[in-house]
Structures are given as structure tokens and as C-alpha cells.
Structure 1
Amino acid sequence: MMQRLWLLFAQTVTVGLALWFIVFTLQPGWLGRGGKVGAHTFAVQEAVPGAAPAHATYAEAARRAMPAVVNIFTSKEAPQAANPLLRDPLFRRFFGERGEEDKQASLGSGVIVGAQGYILTNNHVVEAADEIEVALADGRKASATIVGTDPETDLAVIKVNLNNLPAITFGHPEHSKVGDVVLAIGNPFGVGQTVTMGIISATGRNHLGINAFENFIQTDAAINPGNSGGALIDAQGNLLGINSAIYSRSGGSLGIGFAIPVSTVKMVMESILRHGHVVRGWIGVEPQDITPELAESFGLAQKNGAIIAGVLKNGPADKAGVRPGDILLAVQGKPVSDTTEMLNLIAQLTPGKPAKISVLRRSQRLELEVQIGKRPNLRREED
């Protein structure tokens, strides 16, 4: 009898333990306080709302400049659409009407520089465009017209008929240093307004063969197709340059981008607004850099300056007595180190006014006075 009672007790305890284990595993809440077994609670740390971040931020600079950067959409008639055959009624009867597919679309960026609607961009963004549409950061859109262009620096001024626009503040690139943080703002690949960050990699870049007049700011801030004409700003949100070109083997950013500094931009913009085009000085010569090979060939001790390879007959330089083979040493007292510097110095002179130039001829230094002419609208590197 006792053995049967003990067996019954053991079975009851075993069944009870099995039931407790199942309930504890699958429904711990049924056990009341037992449901909290193994649970861990702790308080998370939260930042104070509005507190300044511990790391550097350029949000304020971007906030100041972004409203002044616009997206530019252009379209032009495709070459085949200009064929008179496409306007023939019989042709249209058989092949149908041709519409939007006859237009070539492209995109770029621009920077609002005047509350009256003036916008700076690259010449290559708007050249030959039949239609130009500008999209502002606040969502507004407007058609734009070209005020003037300057292919030799790849700059253009366009205008929209909108008032009270957020104009950007111009900075001072002459005070910028290699290593300074910069932001590039534009519309890369048409994805929408985008901000990228980098540093100034170099200043005064030239001899790149991009434009006739070059004085680029080089940066590693990501610049891609669609960024052309956008803003390169400093850490305070001031405009340092207009993004113009990239070095790339793939079509995307490789960390080598070039921006036209606002010192050049201001000169071009003011001339376009005053004359409708850029007025530059010109003397009518074809210069050539002094290379070690040329110096040795001609027995030149002079390593700086520009050799005058050719002189335009009856041009300003010809009338002043400049001869082929002369080495141009200085313009208005400013030394000339190479042809790029010579082009820039002469371009800054006022047409119609005299200027002093220094040349070296057969080891003799000569001072000549030349009546500055007006530079023709050519893309060739001659002056």
C-alpha cells in the first residue's frame, strides 16, 4: 500500500514540474513576477535637444548658400530635327509627327548673384540651348534668357523674371589656403540639390587646356556631371568659385575638380552686364613659352618670359615695334613668367589706352609703348 502511494506521489510531482516548465517557457506572464526572470531594463542616454554636436558641422554654411543654388535644365533641337525634310507634309504622313524625341536635353547648376534674377553658370551649360528652365531650391520654376556669355572663361550670365531672390554672398578666394574646407553645391546627375565636402587642393591652376584664361581653384570635393555652374563655398557659406570642370576617366568624380574663382567671375559678370560681352585687351601677337630646348637652341640665358613667335601685321604690337623673336618680359611693370601670365596681364588692360611693355631683343632690353586693342572673340591662345 505504501509503495503505491509513493509511486502516485512521484508521478504527480513529475507531471507538475513538467507543466511548470512548459508554462515558464511559453507563457511566463502567467506566473506573475516569474515573468520578469531573465529580463534586463536600463535607462538610455539621450542628447539634450538642440545641443551643439561634438564634431565639426557645416550645416550653417550649407543653409546659407543652398537657397541661392539653382538647377538648370536646357534643351535644344536635335540636328536631325532641323532637316527641312522633317517638315514636309508627305514625310509626316508616312512617318508621323516628331515631338520631344527631336530635342536634346541636358542639365547643370547655377548660382543666384542678384536679387533681380541674375544667375551665374557655365557657358557650356547654356550654349546653343533653345530653352532654359531654372528650378529654385524653394520649388519655383521659371524660364531664363541669356544675358551674355564668355566662352574663354566658360562663364555665362542668365536671367529669370522673379524678384526677391536669395542672392549668394561673395567670398575672398585670394585669402584661401590649400587645406581649407570647402563645400560644392549642385545637381549631380540630376538627382537633386546635393552638398559635398572637401578641401582646397591647389590654387592658381593653369596650363590645363580647358579654357583660354585659366586660374582655377582645385578641390577634392565631389563634383560630377550636373554640378557644372554650381557653387564652391567656404566654411562660412560664402562663394569662392563656380564649379566648371573635373578630371575623370570614368565620367564621375575622381577627386580632381576645378572651380573658377570669384575674382575672375566678378570681372566677367560686370563686363557682361555693362557691355553684353567681355571686353579684353589685345596686342596681336602669338606667344610661346620658353622651354629649356628653345633656350638652348637660341642661346638664351633668359628662362622667364614669353617668346613672340608671330606678330599680326598692322596690329597694335606691330605698330609699337615688336618683332618676332622678341622676349616679352613685363607688361605695365608686372613681370611675365610665361604665356599664360602674359595673356592674363594684357587681357586686363583697357582697349584704346597706351601701355608700357618690356622686351628683350638680342640681349638688349627695350621699353615700348603699345596702343591696346580689343581682343577678338576667339578661343585661340594668342594675344
Structure 2
Amino acid sequence: MPIITQSSVTQASIKMRRKHWLPRTTLALAMSMTALVGINVATISTAKAAVTTADFSDLVQQVTPGVARVNVTKTVSEAELAQAQTAELLRQFFGDRVRLPNRPATPAIEHAYGTAFFITPDGYMLTNHHVVEGADKITVTLNDRTELDATLIGSDERSDVAVLKVTGKQFPALPIGDSNTIRVGEPVLAIGSPFGFDYSASAGIVSAKSRSFSRETSVPFIQTDVALNPGNSGGPLFNQRGEVVGINSRIFSGTGGYMGLSFSIPMDAAMDIYEQLKTSGEVARAYLGIYPQDIDRNLAEAYNLSRPQGALLTRISPDSPAQKAGLKTGDIILKFNNTDIMRASDLLNMINRASPNETFRAQIQRDGKPLMINGIFSLAPSDIQAQGRDGQDNEVRLGLRLRDLTPDEQAELKTNDKAGIIVTAIDPTGLAARSGLMAGDMVTNLHQKPIANVTDFTSALSSLPKSGVVTIEVIRQGIPAIIGLRIE
């Protein structure tokens, strides 16, 4: 279960308050003040009754057969495990400036677990990407203790959705609900395996909708106060009718455990990802090329808006669909495809749900005047698996996933030239990991050959020697470095 730490989200400091007993006179005064402000005791009693009447006992018995525990076996290195644990401990005290040296890795076996659930009677299941990422073997254990081998049909990192398939028929597929119709305050139920305690049920309410972590993911999360912990990942979130409305994905925590903030992937988004992964094994996303921000009270007054609303465009990527459509920096998008835009997250969520080559229509305000903009989405850059062959047809497997820089990232680097390519994932047992490469590195040179795109990297791979050490130049967190890559 990914954890959103307090350091990654701006928060006000929380102070513990001491308990004090009230003297009788103070208590009497408080009771008098209650009468003066006219608190409706009957309303409070009704609200409490509405919360306490949410009985999920029958529902749990009904839906549990459709939920399964996911067991994952991964090949990792003991050094990496120890280094990760040490790094996390040090970061708690010293922050993100900690730098640990890379050490030779000895392969080891790691067992992990999560939760999944059936969505079709013929064995298709949904879980989280982070549950099965890097798995060598995946099995699922049903509630009658039957254990089945599972095949990974497809997995999408940005949405954190993965599709599994087990062989068989007449599995208890769970009904899928409309996540768009859920309301804040509505009771919801989660079933999963927190800390390995299989088929644990926890309940709460919907705290908020359309929570966005735009730098990491592409879905509008459902926020709840349902108690989720490691092992709940990939499990279903039910409404009171027993319909799945979300996939439990992450928590906000300063301790690693539940702190009252949990986030689930809406099923309307998850089912769209499922259909694409099932059909093609990958997800095609729309690309617009904008940097939107919220409008506060001051900006609303500055732009002559009646209230804070819309998404203010602070940057337009060059040669992007937004630029081609005529959008400009300083435009305020008030409606997008006839839907009101109240916040920047509303716009991002609509873009993330769109498909490449779809048309869009934006109602904007520019220089205080209304304007209508029409355009067409393009295909967002996708990750490419990096593996090549040398001139002797001797396969070189580095264990990398790479992608080109997006126009947004080029603009962020303040250059129109492609400065390198991004490492999006690392096989912990591959040559790249053993040499010290990390996800997030920007590769700028391989074997004395400049790298401007993935095609350059593939070409450079073809000229690598059969053995020996070659250099690879990277930029890590803004700092250039040269790494020796040992070919074996």
C-alpha cells in the first residue's frame, strides 16, 4: 500500500491537547450556552442514528467469496532490501538529502501480498499495479483456501491498476457500481488482508471525491476514512448495495499505518483501464500539454471573475495540442466539453479520461472576454522497454524501462532540445540495477554516444561490446553523474 507521507503534503502542525475536567459552574455555563445558540438535539440524534444503522454484516457474507488474497514472489537483492530499509530510517531523521552508496546485489526471494477481486465469471480480476510490480510468480487464494496460479494480463503504473486472469469458470464476479453517483458522507465497506489478516472488513464514509495526485497518478481518487493498511491494496470498496465503487490503493500516513485518510481508484476509471489492458496490454492516454492551477480569491478579483472558479493556464507546451488549438498562457478554462471546471483537478481528471484523437471544446476567458476553443488530443508519450542486441546478435538485457522526455518536461528544463530519456522502472536483478542506475534517472549518454531519445539509446545498445565496462551518463535529481555499466 503506497503511503503518502506528511512531508509530501503541506499540513498545519498538529498539537496534542491535555484533557481538563470542567468545574460544575463551567459545565452549567456550557449547558446554558448550548440552549442560547439553539442546537437542535433531535438533529444530532438523527445524524448519530444514521451512522450507527449502517450494518454491513449481511453484505460481508454476500461479497466475501468474490475477494481473494494475492500472493506475490519477487526476486530482489538482500543489499537492496537492507539499503531500502536503512534509507527509509535515515530519511525519517535527515530528510530526502540522504545519499547511500550502491552495493553489489545478491539475488534473494521476497514474498509479498495484497488483495484482488473477480469482475468476470471466467476469472478476470483487478488489483493494484504496485501489488504485482516485478512479480516472478502470482497466485491467488480464495476464501475457501483454494490456491490458483494467476497470469498478469496487463498493468498500468499511472493509474495503479493491474489485471489478472485465473483459469476456470463460474467465479463469483462482484457487481460493479457507478462511482460517479457516490456522495460524500455515504457509508462504504472495504475487504482485504491488512498485515496478512485475510478477509478483514472495515467500514467508514466517503470523505471527499476527485482527490488528485497529478504528478504521480492519473485518476480522481475517492477519499474515505475506511481503515486501510498494507495488504488492503487492490481490494474492493463497496457501497451499501454491495457494488464495487473503488479499488483501495493508498493511504496518507506519517507513521506507515492508518491515520484516517485512505484513497481508492474509482471503478469507472478502473474499468476503462481494464478494457484497454485486456484488449491491447497497454493504456493509450490523451495528451493536451498544459500546466493548470487553481484560482483563489485574489486571482478571481484580478481576472474579474464573480467567484474563484476555473483553471488558470500557467504554461503551454510547444507543439502541443493545446498550442495548436490556440490556447495561451493566462487563459482561464471555465468549461471543458460542456462541463463546468471549478478547480484545476477537474480539468486534469477530464483530460486523463479522454482518448487520443478525440476532439475537445473549451470555453475560456482571455483578457476578460469569453472565447471558445476547439482542438484534438494527441497520444501521450509511452514507456518503451529497453533491450537490444549487439552486432554479433548477442542479446544485452539491461533491465530498464525508458521513455522520451515529454514536451512538458522539455519546457521545465527550459530547452526545446531533447536532453535525454527517463528511466521509469528498473529490474532489481538486471545489469542496470547492479551498476547503480535508478528509476527517475535521466540518461544523456551511453558508451560515448549522446542520447536524445529512445531510438538513440537502442542504437547505442547495438554497439555495446559483449563484455567489459562501458560508461553511462545520467542526471539524478539535477546532479550529473557517470556510472560504469558492467556488461555480463
Q: Shorter chain as normaliser: what TM range?
A: 0.7 to 0.9
Q: Distance in 2 between matches of 1:180 and 1:295?
A: 32
**Larger radius of gyration, structure 1 or 2?**
1
1:170 is matched with which residue? 176
1:103 is matched with which residue? 109
3-state SS in 2 of match to 1:144: strand
| Segment drifting more, 124-133 vs 172-181 | 172-181
2:65 is matched with which residue? 67
1:246 is matched with which residue? 251
Matched, 1:300 2:306: no
1:86-111 per-residue CA deviation (whole Å, 9 max, x = no partner) reads: xxxxxxxxxxxx77xx0222211011
Report if the CA contact (8 A) 2:246-2:267 is conserved: yes
Q: Distance in 2 between matches of 1:72 and 1:112?
A: 12
Q: CA deviation at 1:173?
A: 3.5
Report if the CA contact (8 A) 1:115-1:167 is conserved: yes
1:193 is matched with which residue? 199
Q: In the superposition, relative to structure 1, how do residues 175 and 285 fare at CA in structure 2: closer, same or farther (>3 Å)?
A: closer
1:366 is matched with which residue? 371
1:165-186 per-residue CA deviation (whole Å, 9 max, x = no partner) reads: 1111112344433443322111
Q: Distance in 2 between matches of 1:171 and 1:284?
A: 32
Name which structure has the greater RCO, CA cutoff 8 Å, separation 6+: 1
2:136 is matched with which residue? 130
3-state SS in 1 of match to 2:322: helix
Unaligned runs of 5+ in 2: 1-52, 81-105, 384-402, 410-488
TM alignment of 1:217-296, pairs within 5 A: 217-292=222-297
Q: CA deviation at 1:194?
A: 1.5
Q: In the superposition, relative to structure 1, how do residues 314 and 56 fare at CA in structure 2: closer, same or farther (>3 Å)?
A: closer
Q: CA deviation at 1:370?
A: 0.7
Q: CA deviation at 1:294?
A: 5.1
Q: In the superposition, relative to structure 1, how do residues 338 and 121 fare at CA in structure 2: closer, same or farther (>3 Å)?
A: same
Q: In the superposition, relative to structure 1, how do residues 365 and 176 fare at CA in structure 2: closer, same or farther (>3 Å)?
A: closer
Report if the CA contact (8 A) 2:219-2:269 is conserved: no
The count of aligned residue pairs is 309
Q: CA deviation at 1:80?
A: 5.7
1:355 is matched with which residue? 360
Matched, 1:116 2:122: yes
One-letter identity of the residue aligned with 2:56: Y
One-letter identity of the residue aligned with 1:279: A
Q: Distance in 1 between matches of 2:340 and 2:183?
A: 24
Q: Distance in 1 between matches of 2:364 and 2:181?
A: 33
Q: In the superposition, relative to structure 1, how do residues 360 and 72 fare at CA in structure 2: closer, same or farther (>3 Å)?
A: same
Report if the CA contact (8 A) 2:211-2:222 is conserved: no
Q: RMSD of the TM alignment (CA)?
A: 2.9
Q: In the superposition, relative to structure 1, how do residues 172 and 316 fare at CA in structure 2: closer, same or farther (>3 Å)?
A: closer
One-letter identity of the residue aligned with 1:103: I
Q: Distance in 1 between matches of 2:54 and 2:320?
A: 57
Q: In the superposition, relative to structure 1, how do residues 316 and 219 fare at CA in structure 2: closer, same or farther (>3 Å)?
A: closer
Q: CA deviation at 1:268?
A: 2.0
Unaligned runs of 5+ in 1: 1-54, 83-97
One-letter identity of the residue aligned with 2:304: A
Q: In the superposition, relative to structure 1, how do residues 289 and 257 fare at CA in structure 2: closer, same or farther (>3 Å)?
A: same
Q: CA deviation at 1:133?
A: 1.7
- The match for 1:332 among 312, 333, 337 is 337
Q: Distance in 2 between matches of 1:163 and 1:116?
A: 5
Q: CA deviation at 1:364?
A: 2.2
Q: Distance in 1 between matches of 2:150 and 2:246?
A: 22
Identity over aligned residues, as a percent?
A: 33
One-letter identity of the residue aligned with 1:344: N
Q: In the superposition, relative to structure 1, how do residues 312 and 179 fare at CA in structure 2: closer, same or farther (>3 Å)?
A: closer
Report if the CA contact (8 A) 2:160-2:217 is conserved: no
Q: CA deviation at 1:63?
A: 1.8
Q: Distance in 2 between matches of 1:369 and 1:57?
A: 49
One-letter identity of the residue aligned with 1:224: N
Q: CA deviation at 1:205?
A: 4.2
Report if the CA contact (8 A) 2:222-2:263 is conserved: yes
Q: In the superposition, relative to structure 1, how do residues 358 and 174 fare at CA in structure 2: closer, same or farther (>3 Å)?
A: closer
Q: Distance in 1 between matches of 2:294 and 2:183?
A: 28
1:199-226 per-residue CA deviation (whole Å, 9 max, x = no partner) reads: 3132314145684334333333321110
User: What TM-score do you get using the length of structure 1 for normalisation?
Assistant: 0.72
TM alignment of 1:310-349, pairs within 5 A: 310-349=315-354
3-state SS in 2 of match to 1:61: helix
One-letter identity of the residue aligned with 1:331: F
Q: CA deviation at 1:293?
A: 5.6
Report if the CA contact (8 A) 1:181-1:234 is conserved: yes
One-letter identity of the residue aligned with 1:142: L
